[in-house]
Amino acid sequence: MPKNLLQDMVKTKSARRVTRASQKVNDVNQEISLTELRKKEKDPTWHTLWPVAVVSVVFLVFALSYLFSKATIIINPKIQNLTLNENLSASKDAGTTALAFNLVEISGEETKTIQASGEQDILKKATGKVKIFNTFGSGTQRLDINTRLEGSNGKIYKTEKQVVVPGMKDGTPGSVEVGIYGSEGGEEYNSGPLDFTILGFKGGPKYAKFYGRSEGAITGGLQGKFYVISENEKIIALSELKIALQEKLSRQATDQIPDGFILFKDATFLKINDSVSDLISSKENILPVTLSGTLYGLLFNETDLVKKITDNNIKEYDGSSVVFIPDLRDLTFSLSAQAGFSDKDSTPFRDIKNINFNLSGDIKIIWEIDARELADDLLGKQKKDFNQILSQYPNIDTADVNIRPFWKRSFPEKTKDIEVIVNYPE
């Protein structure tokens, strides 16, 4: 088939036009790129802005890390567990090295009413106390038991025991106290304070020179049919009153204990006034029973006692560290038998100068940590030096440290940014 020359010529011209158009587009694009490049080369911020931004961010991060730098140290103090069975002694007038005790004394009374179980004919003589004075001379005067005294109310009373009235000394009358009772039973012998003469001296020179004055009221005289409680009811009532009175006086004593002192529960002793508890009858079937007494307590300085226990039980303790025993008050206190102190109900507590006692029970001796001192020692120190610094604190058993942010390798420069938490056992 013969070639179509005209058609080939048209195709060739069209291809050439497309090629030339494409070349023009490429030339335009290249010229635009060169123009943009020249603009960027002429603008210096394009080259320097991003390094400045990076440096600023890094600086900000480090600045914030110093601003918000914190450290937390959690401390476990040294603890020694002990089962104590310690015999100790103390003195009321102890020196600086011996263990001392103080005596606390509180008096009070407790009353309850009970219903009487029956009636009974009662004859009771009034009783009281009288102080007899001797202004006759310097010689003593013996008065036998049942010496008759006449009261200013006209009633006759008798002495309960034999006494010797001292003579005058330097113009001061001699005197002696003695119990008295009504010569007969009955309420008419009950009285307020009275003056007395000695009937045996009546008509002689001693009558006006010996006289007596009652110490308080004369009470207890009864005659007639009265409601009474049985001996068993009395024992139960007095036992309940004693418990209530001891609890009340113990609370009062505890409230009065100064800071730094300790009163063990078993170191209190109640002495009952028998004269008050003898009221067991009445003309009413509702009977008031009153018990009065005095609570004596042995008070110890807590710091001295803890130091004494630690000295006796921890060989390596040299007294330079502060220790405490949180459960010290839970120890069982028992007073040891000793001369003049074997019967607690009759012991003259005011006169006791020395005591022996035992403390027993489970305790924890805990070494105290000075958290502020440790925080000051860590200021600005490297974290790698923490264990070395910690070795200077023998009171510390173990410790954990956390510094924030995590990349910090040194402790903060301010004490307020270091928190020391001591895990004292409850």
Domain endpoint, select from 348, 367, 386: 367
Question: Does 411 map to a domain?
Answer: no
- Check pLDDT > 90 for residue 193: yes
**140 and 201: one domain?**
yes
- Check pLDDT > 90 for residue 284: no
For the segment 119-153, what is each residue's pLDDT rounded down to a tens digit? 888 899 999 999 999 999 999 999 999 999 999 99
What integer pLDDT is reported at residue 44 of this predicted model? Answer: 52
**242 and 358: one domain?**
yes
* Domain that residue 191 falls in: 120-225
CA distance 87 to 360: 9
- Check pLDDT > 60 for residue 382: yes
- Check pLDDT > 50 for residue 32: no
CA distance 161 to 184: 17
Task: For the chain, give the mean pLDDT.
Answer: 83
Please give the tally of structural domains in the chain: 3
At which residue do the structure tokens 């002192």 appear?
Answer: 261
What's the pLDDT band for 24 if we cut at 50, 70, 90? low
Name the nearest CA neighbour of 177 among 191, 166, 192. 166
What integer pLDDT is reported at residue 53 of this predicted model? Answer: 53
Give the CA distances from residue 198 to residues 138, 176, 228, 361, in Å, rounded to whole numbers and listed in that order. Answer: 19, 14, 36, 61
Please tell me the least confidently modeled range out of 40-44, 118-122, 254-258: 40-44
What integer pLDDT is reported at residue 3 of this predicted model? Answer: 45
Name the nearest CA neighbour of 269 among 122, 105, 33, 111. 105
What secondary structure letter does DSSP report for 304? H
CA distance 7 to 146: 173
CA within 13 Å, CB half, 26: 6
For the segment 1-16, what is each residue's pLDDT rounded down to a tens digit? 444 443 444 444 444 5
**130 and 272: one domain?**
no
What's the pLDDT band for 176 if we cut at 50, 70, 90? very high
Question: Does 425 map to a domain?
Answer: no
**42 and 178: one domain?**
no
What average pLDDT score do residues 238-264 get?
A: 92
26/245: higher pLDDT: 245
DSSP 196-257: EEEGGGTTSTTTTTEEEEESS-BB--EEEEEEE--HHHHHHHHHHHHHHHHHHHHHHHHHHP
Question: Does 60 map to a domain?
Answer: yes
230/62: higher pLDDT: 230
List residues bridging with 245 in a β-sheet. Answer: none
149 and 197 Cβ atoms separated by less than 8 Å: yes
**358 and 256: one domain?**
yes
Domain endpoint, select from 225, 250, 279: 225
Radius of gyration of the chain measured on its C-alpha atoms: 49
Domain endpoint, select from 315, 337, 367: 367
**195 and 168: one domain?**
yes
Please tell me the least confidently modeled range out of 45-49, 228-232, 398-402: 45-49
**141 and 237: one domain?**
no
What integer pLDDT is reported at residue 67 of this predicted model? Answer: 57
What's the pLDDT band for 290 if we cut at 50, 70, 90? confident
- Check pLDDT > 90 for residue 169: yes
What average pLDDT score do residues 41-56 get?
A: 54
- Check pLDDT > 60 for residue 351: yes
What integer pLDDT is reported at residue 121 of this predicted model? Answer: 86
What integer pLDDT is reported at residue 279 of this predicted model? Answer: 53
**158 and 300: one domain?**
no
- Check pLDDT > 80 for residue 347: no
106 and 295 Cβ atoms separated by less than 8 Å: yes
CA distance 120 to 228: 7
**135 and 39: one domain?**
no
What integer pLDDT is reported at residue 230 of this predicted model? Answer: 80
What integer pLDDT is reported at residue 122 of this predicted model? Answer: 86
Question: Does 18 map to a domain?
Answer: no
What integer pLDDT is reported at residue 321 of this predicted model? Answer: 86
CA distance 361 to 82: 8
Question: Does 17 map to a domain?
Answer: no
What integer pLDDT is reported at residue 287 of this predicted model? Answer: 80
- Check pLDDT > 50 for residue 37: no
272: Cα separation from own chain's centroid: 27
Phi, psi (degrees; rounded to nearest 5) at 321: -100, 150
What average pLDDT score do residues 343-372 get?
A: 86
- Check pLDDT > 60 for residue 33: no
**102 and 241: one domain?**
yes
Question: Does 373 map to a domain?
Answer: no
Name the nearest CA neighbour of 77 among 314, 320, 401, 395. 395
Q: Could you tell me which residues come within 8 angstroms of residue 16 by beta carbon, excluding any fewer than 6 positions away?
A: none
183 and 234 Cβ atoms separated by less than 8 Å: no
Question: Does 335 map to a domain?
Answer: yes
164/22: higher pLDDT: 164
**188 and 315: one domain?**
no
**149 and 57: one domain?**
no
CA distance 386 to 242: 60
Question: Does 5 map to a domain?
Answer: no
230/58: higher pLDDT: 230
What integer pLDDT is reported at residue 43 of this predicted model? Answer: 53
What integer pLDDT is reported at residue 424 of this predicted model? Answer: 92
What integer pLDDT is reported at residue 6 of this predicted model? Answer: 39
∠ at Cα 21 (19, 25), nearest 5°?
Answer: 115
